Amino acid sequence: MQSFRTELENQVVEKDILELERKIFQFKNQEIDEEKFRSLRLARGVYGQRQQGVQMIRIKIPYGKITARQLRRIAAVSDEYSNGNLHITTRQDIQIHYVALERTPELWETLEKDNITLREACGNTVRNVTASIFAGVDTNEPFDVSPYAHAFFEYFLRNPICQELGRKFKAAFSSSDADDALSFAHDLGFIPKIKNNKKGVKVLLGGGIGSQPRAADVIFDFLEEDQFIPFSEAVIRVFDKYGERNRRNKARMKFLVKEVGVEQFLEWVAEERKIIPHDSYPIVFEEAQIKNTDLFHSQTDTQSDAYQKWLKTNVVAQKQDGLVSVGIAVKTGDFSSKTARKLADIIEAFSGDDTRLSVSQSILLRHVRKENLPALYENLQQLGMTRIGFHKVNDIVACPGTDTCNLGISSSMGLANKLQEIIEDEYENVITDHKLDIKISGCMNACGQHTLANIGFQGMTMKVNGLIAPATQLLLGGGVLGNGEGRFADKVLKTPSKKTPDVLRWILNDFEENQNNETFNAYYDRKTTDYFYQNLKHFSDTTELQSDDFVDWGAKEKYKKAIGIGECAGVTIDLVQTLLFEAEESLELALESKTAMQWSDSIYYAYSAQIKAAKALLTTVKAKTNSHHSIKVAFDEHFKEYGENEGTTFEESVGKMNQEAPTESFTNTYLEQAHQLINWIKNKRNEQ
C-alpha cells in the first residue's frame, strides 16, 4: 500500500501515522474486527460520532498552550477536512467534527507540521494533561507549573505503560492554592509548593467526577519536584496492573483506590518504584520569554459603560508589572476557522504568543500591555469577542450532548445558548458583581463538569403519558474550596427541560434578593437543599405539558431517546484470536524497543504480551480476568501444567520484571520467556 506521506522528519510520528493508515485499510477490507480497530483509532484521537460515517477528531493541546501558528494550522485543517468549526473542550483540547475516516492520517500529518498531535487524545490512555491557564502569570503562584505539565505530557506520550489501561487517566496542575485546575477531581492532581527553598508539589490521588464523584486523597503535602514523574509512573503502573477491565462503569482509578484503600495502593506504588527507569526526574525550568509588543492606538471610548464592564469582568492583572491577561468568553466553546485566523493575527500583535485554552471552554490572551487594552478591545470587538463575563455565570460550560456525542441524552449546547441569552438579557448585574458558574452535561458522565458547578444541569428524560420528554437534573452547591479540596454539587430535583429557564430565573432572583454579600455556595448552604426543593418542586409537574415540551432545545422534531455506543474510553476485547494477535504485536514492539536499547520499554511490552496471551487462553474457561492481577492468579489456577513444566508459576515468572533491574541481559531473558509463553499458549489453544 502506497503511503501519501513524504514530508515528516520525525520517524516516531511517521510510524504512528502509517500504522493508523494501515489499520484503516485493514478495517475497510475486513482484515481486523471493529472492536480491535476502535481501540487503535481512539488512542489516536479518532472518535466515532453520533452521525454515521463521520468522525470527531480530538486535537491534543497540552495544558491548553497554543501558538498563533498552531491556531492557523488547526483552522486550515478544519476547513480542509471538517466543517470550519473549532470546539474547545473541558480538557483544553480542540475538537473538529464530520471528518471522513479515510482522511484522518492525512489530517494528522498536516497537524504535525506545527507539532500538534492526536496521539492519546481519546481511549484508555493518559489523556491530555490540564493546567491552570494562569500558570506563569498568577500573582499568587509559588512558581510556574507549565514546565511540570509539559514534562508530564512528554514523558507519558507513547509510553508503553499507559497505552492500554483499563480506563482513561487524567492529571491536572494548578498554579496556586486557588486550585482552578480542579486537582481534587483528578486521578492525579498537583499544586505547587515551596519548602525549605525547594520546589515541589502537593500530590492528590484517586479523584474523579462522573455519576459517582470522589474527592482525591492527599498523598503528599510536599513532594520534591524531581520525584513527581517517578511517582506518577508508579501510580499508572499500579492502575494498569490492578485496575478493573471488564466492568467499564467501575474501571476508573478512583474505584480501585476506594476498594483497596490508600494504604494498600501506596504499598503497590512502592513496589513499582523499584523497577521504573528513573529514581529522579529533574524538571528543566526555563524562564518564559515574554515578547515585546508594539504600542497601538485606537478610537475606543475607554469611559464607555461597555468598555468598563469588559475591563471588570475580562481583564486580570499578571504578576509581571505592566502586563495583564485578557479573557475571551467563547459561547459553548465554539468558534469558526475564519475567526481563529483573525484571532491568531491579534495574538501575534498584542500578546506573547502564549495563549491558553481554558477548562471552561474559553480563551486567555496573556502578556498584554496595559496601554494596549483599548486597541485590543477594538480588534476583538470586530470579531465579536468582547462579550463580558470571562468565567462568569454567562460563560456556561456545556458538553456537545446530542449534537454529536453517542452518549448524549439531551441538547446541552442548546440549553446553554438559551440560558446564556436569559442571563445576558435579564441578569447583567449578576455577571458583573458575582462569581458563580453554570455547567451542563448531556448525560451522567459529566464531560460538562456539572457535578463541580455552583449551578449544574444534567441531561435526562421523563416519561409522560407514554411519551418521552427531555429533562434536566438540577444540582447546586459544587465548586472549589482551595488547596486540593472541593465539593460536589447536590442533586435537588428533575424538571422538564423546557422549564429549566424558569428554574434558573427563580434561583438567580432569590440569590439577588437574599444573599448577604456572600458567595453562591454560602447562600446555598445557609438556605439548605430542602429550601430549594420546596420552592422549585412545582416546576417538576408534568400534568400540563405542551407539545413543545417534547421537543429538545434547538430541535424541530419530537424528542427520541437514542444512545449509541460510548467511546470516551475503549472497549474490552475478549476474542481469543484478537488477544493473541495483540500479544504478538506487543512482542514485536518489545523487540523494536530492545533494538533501540530502550530496556525498560522493551520489558514492559514483553510483560504486556504475556498478560494478553494469558487472557486469551483464560477466555476459554470460566475465569476472572478483570485485572492484570486476577489474570495472573487465574492462569496458575486453571493451567497449572504451565508452572509444572517451567518449574515456576506464571505469576512468578511474569513478576520477574518487578525484581530485576532493566538491563540488556534481563531484557533478553524476559523477551525469550514471553516468546516461549505465547508459543505454549498457542499450542494449548490448538489442543482445545
- Around Cβ 266, how many Cβ atoms within 10 Å? 18
Dist. CA 237–CA 648, nearest whole Å: 24
Q: Closest Cα partner for 521 from 473, 494, 472, 486?
A: 486
Can you read off the three cell numbers belonging to residue 121? 487524545
The C-alpha cell of 632 is what?
495472573
Among 498, 503, 499, 501, CA closest to 553: 498
Cα–Cα dist 283/150, whole Å: 10
> What was the pLDDT predicted at 569?
46
Which residue, among 641, 643, 586, 653, has the nearest Cα to 613 in the 3D structure?
586
If phi over 0 gives left and psi between -120 and 50 gives alpha, with beta otherwise, what is residue 353? left
Beta-bridged to residue 201, according to DSSP, are 192, 223
Q: Which residues of the chain have pLDDT under 50?
A: 1-3, 5, 569-574
Query: 305-382: what CATH class?
Result: alpha beta
Angle at 194 between CA 193 and CA 197, to 5 degrees: 170
Fold match between 137-273 and 397-550?
Answer: yes
C-beta separation of 332 from 398 below 8 A? yes
User: Can you give the pLDDT at residue 575?
Assistant: 56
Nearest to 360 by CA among 395, 316, 327: 395
- Rounded (5°) CA angle 92-98-100: 115
Task: Round to whole Å and give the CA distance between 256 and 265.
Answer: 8
Residue 152 grid cell:
508530564
Containing 620, the helix (H) or strand (E) segment is: none
Residues shown for the chain: 688
The CATH architecture one would assign to domain 11-112 is Alpha-Beta Complex (3.90)
Q: pTM for the full model?
A: 0.91
Q: For the chain, what are the domain ranges?
A: 11-112, 137-273, 305-382, 397-550, 576-687
Q: How many CA atoms lie within 13 Å of 645's alpha carbon, on the beta-carbon side?
A: 11
In 3-state terms, what secondary structure has residue 473? strand
- Tell me the C-alpha distance between 166 and 158, whole Å: 16
Beta strands in 523-644 (DSSP E): none
CATH code linked to domain 576-687: 1.20.120.330
Cβ atoms 88, 52 nearer than 8 A: no
Look at residues 219, 236, 174, 226 and name the one whose alpha carbon lies nearest to residue 199.
226
Assigned C-alpha cell, 602? 522493551
Which CATH architecture is the domain 397-550 placed in? 2-Layer Sandwich (3.30)
Q: Helices 337-350 and 68-81 meet at what angle, rounded to 10?
A: 170
* Cα–Cα distance measured from residue 370 to residue 362, given in angstroms and rounded to the nearest whole number: 21
For residue 330, CA distances in Å to 204, 418, 544, 672 come to 30, 15, 36, 55
Q: Is beta strand 55-59 parallel, antiparallel or unpaired with respect to 46-48?
A: antiparallel
**Superfamily of structural domain 137-273:** Sulfite Reductase Hemoprotein, domain 1 (3.30.413.10)
